């Protein structure tokens, strides 16, 4: 088989066969096929797409390029969720302990954040001592003992994805729906769960900007998951404004704990409850989704969910935070409204970028994170605002944050007419 023939076939909009897809993934992972040929193929896929069978074969080839996690020694149904990334998205920190408290097994491998979106590992590592590098044996033991463990993805998981992603990043071929679907699903399938919820974010702060693209990405990923006999569903959710109020690592940990204790923002609570109810029901723990929602409320009210978070933190060598003495910054600046009215829009991307520049995120892979800094919103879309009322608080450690204050202020669009809150869950694709 010759790589040039595969490139020409896709260039001319024909369908690639499984053995051709296996050939280029294996060849590229081994270093036998050069970057320029794979770049050319990625561009042909970007323009001509892939059908569902090709996307499934691609997922399988990437999955088989490295290790898979064998969770068979965990008793019970393993559940997982994946978010395509957003601003203030601390869902894993809330959802994991919630479903674990309900009896599901949450064996989660997470990643770091880059750019304006934060990563679960960075949030967990803001907790003093928290160890994200569990070996397989300790990971499985902890899930068997506590129903939950969250650890970092190792480089041996789907190595072809790392190579391909790095190449796509510099060749303008990231935004191809079948390539994104295969990239995400290969990692999800390699981590071995039985029931999966995909949280596909849409809006300013997200990867997918339009509902059509979010639908298509969700449809393909659900199809791939079903081809691998998984119970899988995609929620398309709003990311035009940040999720919850807190953006920044320790600030988000605090908000996650408050949500687990029943005092969190209502959008975050709702999303975790809906995703959690699907996972719990499909793990066979309740007769229907409505009962699963009730079980979730019960585990929040009786504090079993927040106890589960504490147990996980301690089992992974962390110190459970004292919420009254946790965030240490040089200053907290209040950003005040220059007019009265209603919040019409709150640009998640701008808030994410401002938080990143304060030090809460990374502009490049090698940047270090300041865990204490970030932004806590005081108003969200639909809220009434008076002139000089606080829109947001900036937790900072820098000498000069004039630019970040301006960005946060400009992220809010205040108008005179009343603005309804936006629906959080836009569509569900099964």
Q: Which residues belong to the active site?
A: 82, 161, 168, 183, 187
Q: How far is the CB of 204 from ligand URA (least distance, A)?
A: 17
Q: Would you count residue 50 as binding ligand URA (CB under 6 A)?
A: no
Q: What are phi and psi of 341, to 5 degrees?
A: 155, -145
Record the tokens describing residue 118, joined without a space.
Answer: 């934060």
Question: Strand 246-247 vs strand 374-377: parallel, antiparallel, or unpaired?
Answer: antiparallel
> Looking at beta carbons only, is 174 or 303 nearer to ligand URA?
174
What is the Cβ-side half-sphere exposure of residue 231, based on CA atoms within 13 angstroms? 13
d(CA 45, CA 42): 5
- Give me the numbers of helices (H) and strands (E) for the chain, helices first please: 16, 13
Strand-pairing partners, residue 218, are none
d(CA 44, CA 10): 6
d(CA 291, CA 285): 9
Q: Which residue is nearest to ligand URA (CB)?
A: 183
Is there a contact between 254 and 123 (Cβ–Cβ < 8 Å)?
A: no
Q: How far is the CB of 20 from ligand URA (least distance, A)?
A: 21
Record the tokens describing residue 170, joined without a space.
Answer: 């510099």
What are the angstrom distances between the C-alpha of 18 and each of 31, 57, 177, 348, 385?
20, 6, 19, 40, 57
Is there a contact between 66 and 156 (Cβ–Cβ < 8 Å)?
A: yes
Is there a contact between 217 and 49 (Cβ–Cβ < 8 Å)?
A: no
How many residues bind ligand URA (CB under 6 A)? The answer is: 7
> Looking at beta carbons only, is 55 or 253 nearer to ligand URA?
55
Window 173-212: residues binding ligand URA (CB under 6 A) = 174, 179-180, 183-184, 207
What are the angstrom distances between the C-alpha of 172 and each of 59, 178, 216, 289?
20, 15, 20, 41
d(CA 172, CA 241): 26
- Collapsed DSSP state (helix, strand, coil) of residue 429: strand
Q: Which residues of 245-257 are buried (b: 16+ CB within 10 A; e: fewer)?
A: bbbbbbbbbbbbb
β-sheet with 425-429: strand ranges across: 148-152, 105-110, 78-83, 195-202, 231-238, 425-429
> Looking at beta carbons only, is 207 or 320 nearer to ligand URA?
207
What Rg value do the Cα atoms of the chain yield, rounded?
22
d(CA 45, CA 36): 14
A 10 A CB-CB count for 13 gives: 10
Is there a contact between 139 and 313 (Cβ–Cβ < 8 Å)?
A: no
Q: How far is the CB of 1 from ligand URA (least distance, A)?
A: 25
d(CA 194, CA 283): 8
Residues engaged in binding ligand URA (CB under 6 A): 165, 174, 179-180, 183-184, 207
């Amino acid at each position: 088989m010759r790589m040039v023939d595969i490139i020409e076939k896709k260039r001319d909009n024909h369908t690639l066969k499984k053995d051709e897809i296996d050939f280029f993934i294996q060849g590229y992972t081994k270093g036998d096929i050069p970057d320029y040929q794979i770049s050319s193929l990625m561009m042909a896929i970007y323009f001509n797409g892939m059908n569902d069978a090709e996307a499934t074969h691609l997922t399988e080839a990437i999955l088989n390029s490295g290790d898979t996690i064998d969770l068979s020694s965990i008793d019970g149904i393993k559940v997982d969720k994946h978010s395509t990334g957003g601003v203030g998205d601390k869902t894993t920190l809330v959802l994991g302990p919630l479903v674990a408290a309900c009896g599901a097994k949450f064996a989660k491998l997470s990643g770091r954040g880059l750019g304006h979106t934060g990563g679960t590992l960075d949030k967990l590592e803001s907790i003093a001592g928290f160890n994200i590098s569990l070996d397989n044996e300790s990971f499985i033991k902890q899930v068997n003992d506590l129903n939950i463990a969250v650890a970092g993805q190792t480089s041996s998981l789907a190595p072809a994805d790392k190579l391909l992603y790095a190449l796509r990043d510099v060749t303008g071929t990231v935004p191809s729906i079948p390539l994104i679907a295969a990239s995400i699903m290969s990692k999800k399938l390699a981590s071995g769960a039985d029931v999966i919820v995909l949280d596909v974010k849409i809006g300013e702060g997200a990867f997918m900007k339009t509902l059509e693209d979010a639908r298509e990405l969700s449809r393909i990923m659900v199809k791939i998951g079903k081809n691998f006999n998984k119970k899988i569903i995609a929620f398309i959710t709003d990311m035009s404004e940040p999720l919850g109020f807190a953006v920044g690592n320790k600030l988000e940990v605090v908000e996650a704990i408050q949500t687990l204790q029943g005092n969190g923002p209502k959008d975050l609570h709702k999303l975790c409850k809906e995703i959690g109810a699907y996972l719990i029901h499909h793990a066979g723990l309740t007769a229907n989704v409505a009962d699963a929602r009730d079980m979730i409320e019960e585990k929040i009210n009786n504090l079993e969910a927040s106890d589960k978070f504490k147990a996980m933190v301690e089992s992974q060598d962390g110190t459970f935070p004292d919420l009254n003495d946790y965030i240490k910054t040089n200053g907290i600046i209040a950003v005040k409204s220059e007019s009265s009215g209603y919040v019409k829009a709150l640009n998640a991307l701008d808030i994410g970028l401002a938080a990143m520049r304060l030090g809460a995120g990374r502009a490049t892979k090698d940047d270090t994170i300041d865990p204490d800094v970030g932004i806590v919103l005081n108003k969200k879309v639909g809220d009434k605002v008076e002139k000089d009322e606080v829109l947001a608080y900036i937790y900072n450690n820098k000498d000069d944050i004039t630019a970040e204050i301006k960005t946060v202020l400009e992220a809010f669009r205040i108008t005179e007419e009343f603005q309804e809150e936006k629906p959080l869950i836009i569509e569900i694709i099964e």
